[in-house]
Amino acid sequence: MFYKKLFLLLQVVCVVHCYGQTYPYKQFTTSNGLINNRCGNVSQDSAGYIWITSDNGICNYDGRKFTFFPGKNFTYYFAHTNTINMYKGHCVFATNGEGFALGLANKLSFSSISGQSKSQPTYGLILNDSSTLVAKIYSTDLELITGSSKTILKPPDEIAREMKSFLMFSKDGEGNIWIGTDAGVYIYKKGNFNTAYILPALFKKYCNVLKVDLEGNVFIASQHDVYKIFREHLKDVENAKPVKFTNHKELITAMGFSRNGDIMISDLPDGVAVYNKALQLKKKLIKHGLPGVLLWDIFTDREDNIWFATENGVYRFSNFDFINYTPTSVAGTPNIRGGVIYSNQFIFSNNLQFFTLKNEELHTLINYDKNANYDARIISTPANTLWLNSYLNIGVYPKVTTKLISIQNGELIEKKEIEYHSDSGTVIDMEKIARLNNKEFVFITQDKKFLLGHDDWVEKVQLPGELHTSLFSAVGPGFYENEFILAVNKVGLFYCKAERIKGLIQLKIIEKIPFVPTIQNDRCFKIITTKDKKYGSLPVIAGLGFLAKKTKTTAYPKRLQNRKFQAVL
């Protein structure tokens, strides 16, 4: 579990670093194919398609594109007050004058309701193949339709005297049918429509949200409060006692659940509050980086992506289960930009503070120098030494140095500053590092020098004449141990190997790939080694334009046969 979450965090780190957002998300609007940006609900069918309701109708998303399904008579009802229900793997929606719409894969079918007005929104539940429970907005009566027969179900008298409209419908794992209104919540026990039970804790209270989580527990948001009814109490719902566990300043508009049991609740105007299984506040996902719009629904798909339906499109977030987000301040940024494994734990920073994650527990590390800011990108060595850049604000420009740090009793302790002989204050460019083996790495400094690092020291690398005066722009890992790829702007790429001869590190060029000689196509900023099923290890060169190209006549060393370079534009 730890490594799964670590992998997810690393994905977060990469995306945040690239796009500069606190939370890694993708926004979908009409520019991406949505029919309307005002979205009410999000759900996923059994085929994996994401379905979204909006003011103008229903869209689905297959992972690549959106498909819009126009109505026959009217546009679909904007269902922000009604949860999308499921029936036999289908997502079930309310419509205007067309009964229920059932979405599965890339098809939408309809379950018509006899006698239904062509101008009135209808919503409720499909109970089985022959029976539906239907409500009409701004009505106080339910209709139980079985085949061609219709039974009118009156709400309990106490509710009927107060209510103006139905709002929510849900069916739990015990077959209890939950009805949320603007005057309270009542229940048809085990689907028995002869009697209804009013939930005392919510009598005369407006039901904002009514949902069943992934474990079968029932959650109800009533105005500013949220209640939980535990799954084991649903067998005898009349004796169930809802547990109130939070109170928010503003009305609660949305609620959702992550796969580890966390409860996500809209927390206007700041964002989303997250509670754990013990119903304790775990964190607040504050508005920094979150969409500054009203949330109508929160949904977690099978890949653990979290979807927000909002007034300005839908937002798909990568899983942010355990990351401790910190609000921004005058100095620094809340962005999580990098982290490393250190002594069997994960260390990461947001430029304001360092954190350690071990055994799924998050702890804050104490900074030894409160006057300094630190680059979130850090590296570690086998001797459990952290390398990071320190920014000390003195004078007009901050003093930047590379520090070697250890962790003792939850506190960052400085071991030394990195220096190389006469090169005082050697500063690593933290984006330009490549591992050679389990002990050593090569890096480029901010003044474009090339050095080798170990546990607590740096070593100069003897360069061949061709590279002796070069200013290096990027470095990336090679295919084998002690190999790496170097980039020199306006010159090309060099596939190299580091060899220790008589105690000195020497750089040997295995292959040179010249840049295409054009004005813009001769620069490289980043080198990433990935894998390709056909070609094995594939170095991908990211920079400006098409950077390097092999020809059919190139003679490759054996280690480079059946491999190729390509550009990422």
- Name every residue whose Cβ is closer than 8 Å to that of residue 166 and which is 6 or more positions away in sequence: 123, 135, 137, 139, 140, 142, 179, 180, 181
- The pLDDT, as a whole number, for residue 327 is 38
* Helix, strand or coil, per DSSP, at residue 552: coil
Q: What is the pLDDT of residues 521-563, one digit of tens each?
A: 556 777 776 654 333 333 444 443 333 443 333 333 444 444 4
CA 255 → CA 46, 60, 208, 226, 305, distances in Å?
A: 21, 21, 10, 10, 15
- The pLDDT, as a whole number, for residue 518 is 52
At 3, which helix (H) or strand (E)? helix 2-19
Q: Residues 51, 56, 57, 59: what is their CA dihedral angle, to the nearest 10 degrees?
A: -30
- The pLDDT, as a whole number, for residue 205 is 92
- CA–CA distance, 133 with 129 (Å, rounded to integer): 12
Residue 110's beta-bridge partner residues? 101
- The pLDDT, as a whole number, for residue 115 is 61
Name the residue among 135, 133, 186 with its Cα closest to residue 160: 186
- The pLDDT, as a whole number, for residue 430 is 81
Q: What is the pLDDT of residues 204-221, one digit of tens each?
A: 999 989 999 989 999 999
- The pLDDT, as a whole number, for residue 174 is 92
State the pairing for strand pair 372-374/379-380.
unpaired
Which residue stretches of the chain have pLDDT < 70? 1-24, 71-82, 114-121, 137, 286-292, 319-338, 350-352, 360, 368, 370, 376, 393-398, 419-425, 516-523, 529-569
Instruction: Dig out the tokens for 471 from the structure.
Output: 């200013």
Neighbours of 239 (CB within 10 A): 7
Q: How would you list the strands of the sheet with 66-69, edge to edge?
A: 39-44, 50-54, 57-61, 66-69
- The pLDDT, as a whole number, for residue 355 is 78
pTM of the model as a whole:
0.56
